[in-house]
């Protein structure tokens, strides 16, 4: 199947920052076959394509890469948004009491629909019943880097014992180790929610299967105090147990010292920057300017629909430079092009994937087309600025992942989101009954 998209401003997001005016791209099956510029549609008459799509002067760019999410937490959205320490006060206990396989699957379907509509074609997820998230990925066409939550407490999919996720993830790794649509990762919850031996064991899994090791790091005040009493930081602690290395994708990294960043750089570790959820929780602004100066690879993450409420990368891209410019009191920091790099090529680099995040011949056909006719997109002097500071998810008109069109004319192609919502609402009835136990704080 060959698809030609033409009449666009094409942002390749390659290392040279190439922009193709009057740009076109030709895909074949799951790959980009060719791309270039053409003044008129007639100039492309010699190119064979099964379908030809007029981009109508839109902006064509790679699909976004969301490097941290808990996609199935859709049922928790708008619960206790302003509640301090809500993770321990009601999220953990309500997950244990009320989450089940079907809720995880339907929540994943709904959340994936939201991500696709905002141009996300790849995401990394940490959750329970992660094989249900895998099923949702296969049903929808999105690419998922998926990790069963490893944690030292009883969970909804391991109600009888702690650390049940280890056995679960071993089976998951074997089941999907040859898949290019579902990529298993190792996902211990955080630096203080597993004991050091289990954290080290999890890293050994990542080494054995040559995959990503991702966990919440330097995020919480109580986490920082825990390690301060030991004369350490979360990063130096991970290094001391052999869990800081090239497999490590540390999430949040809000409370980082210069020594922490230097250590991450030395070990080849990477960062998932979740600015929206961090700001919403009042936890602080991660020192991404310092990390970027040192050349530490990083991508942007939406976090879950309970943490940041939105699964749109456009929101993250807008908040990210606002926060960094404010933290460092410098308007020139993180220009729009650099922010867009973080959402595309940077996310791919954080996931060690060289086949996505860039539009080039031979790469995966993961892309999005953003229309420029809406009121918020005029005038358009700088396409990077337009995407970062003006655009929103509603401007995404077409999304392709692995060469398959998943969003066309701003609508999901494979997923009936209204039916998914109705099914999810039905499945949430027992969940909402359990949530009544926490009504005073949520």
* pLDDT tens for each residue of 205-254: 999 999 999 999 999 999 999 999 999 999 999 999 999 999 999 999 99
Report pLDDT digits (tens) over 260-273: 999 999 999 999 99
Helices (H), 99-211: 101-117, 130-140, 165-176, 196-209
The predicted structure's pLDDT at residue 178: 85
- Any bridge partners for residue 4, and if so which? 26, 52
Percent of the chain with pLDDT over 90: 93
Higher pLDDT, 346 or 44: 346
- How many CB atoms within 10 Å of residue 197? 9
Domain ranges of the chain: 2-62+357-409, 64-350
Token pair in block for residue 176: 């999907």
313-328 and 336-343 helices, crossing angle to 10°:
130
Query: Are 185 and 213 in contact, with CB atoms under 8 Å apart?
Result: yes
Report pLDDT digits (tens) over 173-184: 999 988 889 999
Report d(CA 382, CA 336) in Å as an integer: 9
To which residue do tokens 């991450």 refer? 264
Fold observed for domain 2-62+357-409: Urease, subunit C; domain 1 (2.30.40)
Report pLDDT digits (tens) over 3-18: 999 999 999 999 999 9
- How many CB atoms within 10 Å of residue 233? 22
Question: In this model, does residue 50 exceed pLDDT 90?
Answer: yes
Contacts of 389 (CB under 8 A, 6+ apart): 318, 336
Model pTM score: 0.97
Same fold, 2-62+357-409 and 64-350: no
Report pLDDT digits (tens) over 296-314: 999 999 999 999 999 999 9
Question: Does domain 64-350 match CATH 3.20.20.140?
Answer: yes
- How many CB atoms within 10 Å of residue 374? 14
Report pLDDT digits (tens) over 127-163: 999 999 999 999 999 999 999 999 999 999 998 889 9
- How many CB atoms within 10 Å of residue 119? 30
Q: How far is CA 109 from CA 300, 309, 311, 348, 419, in A?
A: 21, 16, 13, 23, 11
């Amino acid at each position: 199947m060959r698809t030609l998209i033409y009449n666009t401003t094409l942002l390749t997001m390659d290392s040279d920052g190439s922009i193709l005016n009057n740009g076109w791209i030709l895909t074949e099956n799951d790959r980009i076959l060719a791309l270039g510029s053409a003044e008129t549609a007639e100039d492309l008459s010699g190119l064979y394509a099964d379908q030809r799509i007029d981009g109508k002067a839109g902006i064509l760019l790679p699909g976004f890469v969301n490097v941290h999410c808990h996609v199935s937490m859709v049922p928790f959205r708008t619960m206790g948004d302003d509640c301090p320490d809500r993770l321990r006060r009601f999220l953990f206990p309500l997950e244990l009491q009320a989450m089940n396989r079907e809720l995880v699957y339907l929540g994943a379907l709904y959340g994936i629909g939201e991500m696709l509509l905002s141009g996300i074609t790849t995401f990394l997820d940490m959750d329970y019943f992660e094989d249900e998230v895998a099923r949702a990925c296969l049903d929808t066409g999105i690419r998922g880097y998926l990790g069963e939550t490893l944690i030292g407490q009883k969970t909804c999919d391991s109600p009888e014992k702690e650390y049940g996720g280890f056995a679960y993830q071993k089976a998951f790794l074997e089941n999907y180790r040859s898949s290019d649509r579902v990529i298993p990762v190792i996902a211990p919850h955080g630096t203080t929610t597993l004991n050091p031996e289990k954290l080290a064991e999890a890293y050994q899994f990542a080494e054995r299967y040559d995959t990503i090791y991702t966990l919440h790091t330097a995020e919480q005040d109580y986490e920082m105090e825990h390690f301060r009493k030991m004369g350490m930081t979360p990063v130096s602690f991970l290094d001391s147990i052999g869990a800081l290395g090239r497999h490590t994708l540390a999430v949040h990294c809000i409370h980082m010292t210069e020594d922490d960043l230097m250590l991450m750089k030395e070990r080849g570790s990477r960062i998932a920057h979740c600015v929206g959820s961090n700001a919403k929780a009042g936890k602080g602004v991660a020192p991404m300017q310092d990390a970027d100066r040192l050349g530490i690879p990083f991508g942007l993450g939406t976090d879950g629909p309970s943490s940041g409420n939105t699964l749109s990368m456009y929101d993250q891209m807008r908040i990210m430079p606002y926060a960094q410019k404010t933290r460092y009191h410098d308007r020139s920091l993180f220009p729009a092009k650099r922010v867009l790099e973080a959402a595309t090529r940077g996310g791919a680099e954080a996931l060690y994937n060289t086949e996505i995040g860039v539009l080039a011949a031979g790469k995966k056909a993961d892309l999005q087309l953003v229309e420029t006719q809406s009121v918020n997109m005029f005038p358009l002097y700088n396409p990077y600025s337009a995407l970062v500071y003006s655009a929103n998810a509603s401007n995404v008109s077409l999304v392709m992942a692995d060469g398959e069109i998943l969003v066309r004319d701003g609508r999901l192609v494979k997923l009936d989101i209204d039916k998914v919502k109705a099914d999810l609402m039905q499945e949430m009835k027992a969940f909402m009954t359990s949530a009544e136990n926490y009504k005073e704080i949520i």
